Amino acid sequence: MKRGRPRTEIVRKPIIKTISKQDRKDLKVLADDFGLLHRKEVQEIISTCKSYTEGQQKIMRVYEVVYLH
């Protein structure tokens, strides 16, 4: 077994900022309260948003389109 510093291509991975599990859970509760959790686009928003606020805003936009227009 080799010792020393690991190769750089193994160590470097792109850093993708995601939200915590609790924030993701809270977004799911929010979407469920508005009856939007079953929608594919809302599931995608929850899984790809970079902050709770961003996810909340996007979910509210979907809500406006679905229920208010």
Q: Look up the pTM and report it.
A: 0.75
pLDDT tens, residue by residue, 17-55: 779 999 999 999 999 999 999 999 999 999 999 999 999
Rounded CA separation 7/11 (Å): 7
Q: What value does the mean pLDDT take over residues 1-27?
A: 76
Whole-number Cα distances in Å, 44 to 4, 13, 35: 41, 23, 15
